[in-house]
Amino acid sequence: MASLMTGSFFNAVKGLYDSFAALDPANPLRRAVSAVIVAIGAFLIIKIARRLVNRALKRRSCSRTDKRINTMRKLINSIITYTVVIMAAIQLLQSVFRVNMSAVLAAAGVVGIAIGFGAQALVRDMIAGFFILLEGQFAVGDKVTIAAFTGTVDELGLRSTRLKNPAGDIFIVPNGGILNLINHSLLPRAFFVSGIFPQETDPAGLLQIFNEAGKKAQEDFCLEEAPSASVAPVEEGHSVRLKVTCRPGSADLMGREILHRLAGALAQAQEKTADGNELEIIGSE
C-alpha cells in the first residue's frame, strides 16, 4: 500500500513537471512559477548556509574571542546573503524576464573599473579589517595603542576602528592605516604594590600582612596565581613588594583595591611606612 502511494506521488510530481516544462517560456504562469522556485531556493540556501556557519563558529568559540567570533559570524552571514541574493536576481532577470545579462554585465564591468580606481582605499581598509577580525589582533574592550593614541577599543568594524581614552576622546582610524599596534590586553598583567618601612619593623610580620592581603585578593578576584610578597633591605629599612598577576584590563582597578586593603591591614597592625614614603603601585611587566 505504501509503495503504491509513493509511486502515485512521484507520478503526480512528474506529471506536474512535464506540464510545466511544456509551457511556452514566455507564458506568464511559467514565469511566475520560475520566480517562486528561485526565491524559495535562495531562501533555503541562505537558511542552511547560515545554520552551518553558526554551528561551525559556535564550536570554536571561547571566552576570550566571543566578540570576535560573533563579529565574524555576522560578516560571513552577510556575505552569504548578498552573494545568494545577487545570484538569484541574475537568475530571475535572465530566465524569467529574458534580460540579456551579457550586455548588463559588460556595462557593469566598465562602471566597476571606474569605481574601483576611486575606491582603492576603501577596499584596502575592508581587507585589513577582515584580517584583523580573522586573526584576532584585538577585540572590542581591549586596551591598545595605535599611532601614539592609547585607548579602549570602543567599536571594531570592517572599515574602521574607534578608540576611546579615559578622558572621553574618540580616535577613529581606518583599518588600512593601522601599521603598528600595541595590544595591552592579550597577556596577563603584572604589577607591584610596594612600601618602605623603618629598620625596627619586623620583616616577618610585614611579609605575613602582605601575603594575607594577596591571598584574600586571590579569593575575591579569582586570580590564577597567588600574589607573593618579598622583602629586601634598603637604606631606610625594609622594602616590601607584593607581586600581583591579574587578568588583562583589570590591573588599574585591582591595584587600587589591593592598595586600599593593605593600607587598612597595616593601620590595624599599627605598622607605618618610613618617613616620606607611602605605599605605591609600581609599573607592570
Q: Could you list the residue range(s) of the whole structural domain that residue 28 is in?
A: 7-118
pLDDT confidence of residue 18: 55
pLDDT confidence of residue 61: 45
Q: Which amino acid is at 196?
A: I
Query: Among 150, 183, 216, which residue terminates a domain?
Result: 183
Both 147 and 233 in one domain: the answer is no
In a domain, 127, yes or no: no
Both 99 and 167 in one domain: the answer is no
Answer for the pair 132, 138: CB distance below 8 angstroms, yes or no.
yes
In a domain, 1, yes or no: no
CATH code of 90's domain: 1.10.287.1260
Tell me how far apart the alpha carbons of residues 257 and 154 are, in angstroms, rounded to a whole number.
Answer: 25
Tell me how far apart the alpha carbons of residues 221 and 246 are, in angstroms, rounded to a whole number.
Answer: 9
How many domains, in total, are found in the chain?
A: 3
3-state secondary structure 68-120: HHHHHHHHHHHHHHHHHHHHHHHHHHHHHCCCCHHHHHHHHHHHHHHHHHHCH
pLDDT confidence of residue 274: 79
Both 207 and 114 in one domain: the answer is no
Both 41 and 74 in one domain: the answer is yes
In a domain, 124, yes or no: no
pLDDT confidence of residue 156: 82
In a domain, 249, yes or no: yes
CATH code of 162's domain: 2.30.30.60
Both 194 and 179 in one domain: the answer is no
Tell me how far apart the alpha carbons of residues 226 and 210 are, in angstroms, rounded to a whole number.
Answer: 12
In a domain, 80, yes or no: yes
In a domain, 132, yes or no: no
In a domain, 133, yes or no: no
In a domain, 125, yes or no: no
What is the bridge-based pairing of β-strands 189-198 and 228-234?
unpaired
Q: What is the pLDDT along the chain (285 residues), one digit of tens a residue?
A: 445 445 565 555 555 555 555 555 566 766 777 778 888 888 999 999 988 888 887 755 445 556 667 667 777 887 888 888 888 888 877 776 777 767 666 766 666 676 666 678 888 888 898 888 878 888 888 889 998 899 988 888 778 899 998 888 999 999 999 989 998 877 787 888 888 898 888 888 888 999 888 888 888 877 777 888 889 988 888 889 988 888 776 777 788 888 888 888 888 888 888 776 788 887 654
Both 172 and 207 in one domain: the answer is no
CATH code of 272's domain: 3.30.70.260
Q: Which residues contact 244 (CB under 8 A, 6 or more apart)?
A: 190, 191, 192, 193, 214, 217, 223, 227, 254, 255, 258
pLDDT confidence of residue 48: 92
Query: Among 183, 201, 217, which residue terminates a domain?
Result: 183
